[in-house]
């Protein structure tokens, strides 16, 4: 290994490596966006190079697509791939029912579309992403640039009637200007602290004019792979109600640990 990884990065890596082992030859695979998903892409690239694994991938963002091509993965559009066998993605938060908050990287719209077009959604995360109730991480809501101030006002008004502890709404910025998604939209981050009824909130938010999609993923995740800094890994299956425990060895393969963007 070219450098010593911090415990949080080790946890992300072991979760990603364990999930990469779930991929079989001939699969069509959705690839998520974010630092943990980037580990997955590297691990899949390593399997393709070492084992000759033949897979087709559908990335959920341009930066994931660039990394996938860089490590030798075949990249196609969702239209070309059709239905997917599995999507593997990260999460900003997950609860005991495997409901998620996603969108910290600004790609939750594409991530939700790709996940919905998959037989299975597998989430990879370090232990710190597990919460008793969703909401500590700001909830991203992708909105149209047209009528942005109106949409924001409607969101703020709607939050008054919902079971949340905080109601601050901020426009996501990057480099001093509003963040722009791959679809050309903006993101409003809802600082809620706690979401009492995630299912209700997901439905209500998407009814607001100008809202394209929110970052709540409800009843869509099948398994979560939880990594720990000491190499331990858990695979929790919501459908089977099972928990598989194991350990992942760190490979002395410099290709996996260099030039990885967080």
pLDDT of amino acid 2: 39
pLDDT at 254 exceeding the cut of 70: no
- Looking only at Cα atoms, what is the longest distance across the chain? 54
Residue 184 marked ligand-binding: no
Residue 165 in domain: yes
Residue 102 marked ligand-binding: yes
Residues 207 and 228 in one domain: no
pLDDT of amino acid 251: 58
Residue 113 in domain: yes
Residues 46 and 174 in one domain: no
Residue 129 marked ligand-binding: yes
Residues 75 and 197 in one domain: no
pLDDT at 118 exceeding the cut of 70: yes
pLDDT of amino acid 198: 98
**How much is the average pLDDT of 244-254?**
74
pLDDT at 115 exceeding the cut of 90: yes
Residues 157 and 196 in one domain: yes
Residues 39 and 11 in one domain: yes
100-101/216-217 β-pairing: antiparallel
Residues 226 and 123 in one domain: yes
SS3 48: helix
- The domain that holds 228 is classified in CATH as 3.40.50.1360
Residue 2 in domain: no
Q: What distance in Å separates the CA atoms of residue 251 and residue 104, rounded to the nearest whole number? A: 29
pLDDT tens per residue across span 124-171: 999 999 999 999 999 999 999 999 999 999 999 999 999 999 999 999
Residue 58 in domain: yes
Residues 33 and 99 in one domain: yes
- 5 pLDDT band (50/70/90 cuts)? confident
Q: Give the total number of structural domains in the chain.
A: 2
Residues 150 and 60 in one domain: no
Residue 1 in domain: no
Residue 33 marked ligand-binding: yes
Residue 77 marked ligand-binding: no
Residues 237 and 156 in one domain: no
Does the annotation mark 213 as catalytic? no
Q: What distance in Å separates the CA atoms of residue 162 and residue 97, rounded to the nearest whole number? A: 20
Given 111, 130, 156, 252, the catalytic residue:
111
Alpha helix stretches (DSSP H) within 144-189? 148-159
Residue 261 in domain: no
pLDDT of amino acid 256: 55
- What's the mean per-residue pLDDT of the chain? 94
pLDDT of amino acid 1: 38
Residue 244 in domain: yes
Residue 246 marked ligand-binding: no
Domain that holds residue 41: 7-130+219-256
Residues 203 and 234 in one domain: no
CB atoms within 10 A of CB 141: 28
Taking a C-beta distance cutoff of 8 angstroms, is the pair 94, 131 a contact? yes
Residues of the chain with pLDDT > 90: what percent? Answer: 92
Residues 29 and 117 in one domain: yes
- The domain that holds 153 is classified in CATH as 3.30.70.260
Residues 55 and 98 in one domain: yes
């Amino acid at each position: 290994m070219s450098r010593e990884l911090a415990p949080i990065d080790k946890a992300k890596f072991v979760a990603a490596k364990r999930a990469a082992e779930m991929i079989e030859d001939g699969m069509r695979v959705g690839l998520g966006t974010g630092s943990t998903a980037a580990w997955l892409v590297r691990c899949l690239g390593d399997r393709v190079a070492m084992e000759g694994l033949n897979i087709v991938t559908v990335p959920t963002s341009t930066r994931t697509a660039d990394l996938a091509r860089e490590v030798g993965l075949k990249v196609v559009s969702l239209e070309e791939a059709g239905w997917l066998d599995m999507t593997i993605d990260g999460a900003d938060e997950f609860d005991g029912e495997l409901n998620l908050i996603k969108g910290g990287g600004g790609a939750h719209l594409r991530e939700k579309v790709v996940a919905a077009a998959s037989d299975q959604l597998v989430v990879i995360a370090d232990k710190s992403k597990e919460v008793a109730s969703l909401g500590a991480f700001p909830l991203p809501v992708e909105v149209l640039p047209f009528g942005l101030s109106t949409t924001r006002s409607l969101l703020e008004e709607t939050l008054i009637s919902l079971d949340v502890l905080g109601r601050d709404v901020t426009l996501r910025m990057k480099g001093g200007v509003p963040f722009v998604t791959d679809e050309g939209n903006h993101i409003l981050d809802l600082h809620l602290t706690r979401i009492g009824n995630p299912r209700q909130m997901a439905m209500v938010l998407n009814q607001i004019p100008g809202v394209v999609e929110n970052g709540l993923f409800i009843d869509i995740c099948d398994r979560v792979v939880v990594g720990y800094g000491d190499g331990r890994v858990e695979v929790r299956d919501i459908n089977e109600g099972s928990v598989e425990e194991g350990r992942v060895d760190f490979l002395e393969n410099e290709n996996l640990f260099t030039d990885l963007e967080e």
